[in-house]
Amino acid sequence: MNIILLAPPAAGKGTEAQILTKEYSIPQISTGDLLRGATEKGDALSNEIKLIMEQGKLVSDEIIIELIKNRINEEDCKNGYILDGFPRTINQAEKYDEMLEEIGNKIDYVFAIDIDKSIASSRITGRRTCPNCNRIYNVNSDKLKPRNENLCDDCNIELKHRKDDNAETYEKRYNAYLEETAPLINYFEKKNILYHIDGNVDMCNTHKQIKDIID
Ligand SMILES: [Zn+2]
């Protein structure tokens, strides 16, 4: 069961990935983690990656595919895996497909979690964190807002609002996501493996839709 999750920021992709890894006993593979891990191995490929990163250059698609190929050969991937942060371009998607075909594998599900910009934005702009216990609140949500305005329920101290959690920054990230993924969504739709998931309600609802498709 090979899964790819696509979602704009604040659509709940991280939480959904966590639920899926537990429910189906499959790991989540992040290309960022793979690259960081690869630099510590000390073999030829590892040294090559280290040099590229030290020079501030981008690691090629070929190298990333090679790392994924090695990773999915490991025992914990025998039931499948969730790929995180990859592919981001059509070229990466095609090379990834080719590699899977070579090893007799394929992508099973690509889930695009769709969410309205205004809903996602209110999740972001309402976010408040307790600087003491790091508990996260959301003043725009009845379920997640603190009992007393802007105070941590447990510590009774003032909650913090991160500067980046504003509507303007969110809109930029949301639009960048749409621009980046539109061609990919098209690519996977043509292969009949893309499923649109409505992420506007809540996490439970998002997960139920995905589970219904898998089961
Ligand atoms: Zn607290």
Residues whose CB is less than 8 angstroms from the CB of residue 197 and which lie 6 or more positions away in sequence, other chains included: 111, 112, 113, 114, 206, 209, 210
Share of the chain above pLDDT 90, in %: 77
Contact 8, 196 (CB under 8 A): no
For the chain, domain boundaries: 2-113+200-214
CA 23 to the chain's CA centroid? 17
CA of 125 to the centre of ligand 1 (A): 19
Q: What is the mean pLDDT of residues 58-86?
A: 93
Q: What is the mean pLDDT of residues 94-111?
A: 96
Question: How many CB atoms are closer than 10 A to CB 188?
Answer: 22
Contact 8, 178 (CB under 8 A): yes
CA of 43 to the centre of ligand 1 (A): 45
CA of 177 to the centre of ligand 1 (A): 33
Does the pLDDT value for residue 45 go beyond 90? no
Lowest mean pLDDT among 73-77, 84-88, 184-188: 84-88
How far, CA to CA in Å, does 110 sit from each of 59, 138, 140, 163?
24, 29, 30, 33
Name the pTM for this structure: 0.86
How far, CA to CA in Å, does 193 sit from each of 2, 5, 108, 186, 196?
11, 12, 6, 11, 10
CA of 17 to the centre of ligand 1 (A): 26
CATH of 2-113+200-214, one of 3.60.110.10, 3.40.50.300, 3.40.50.10130, 3.40.190.10: 3.40.50.300
Catalytic residue among 71, 95, 127, 128: 127
CA 3 to the chain's CA centroid? 11
| pLDDT for position 163 | 86
Q: How many separate helices (H) and strands (E) can be counted in the chain? A: 8, 7
Catalytic residue among 162, 172, 191, 211: 162
In whole angstroms, give the CA distance from residue 21 to residue 80. Answer: 10
Confidence of residue 108 (pLDDT cuts 50, 70, 90): very high
Q: What is the mean pLDDT of residues 142-155?
A: 94
| pLDDT for position 84 | 86
Does the pLDDT value for residue 152 go beyond 90? yes
Contact 81, 33 (CB under 8 A): no
Contact 112, 106 (CB under 8 A): no
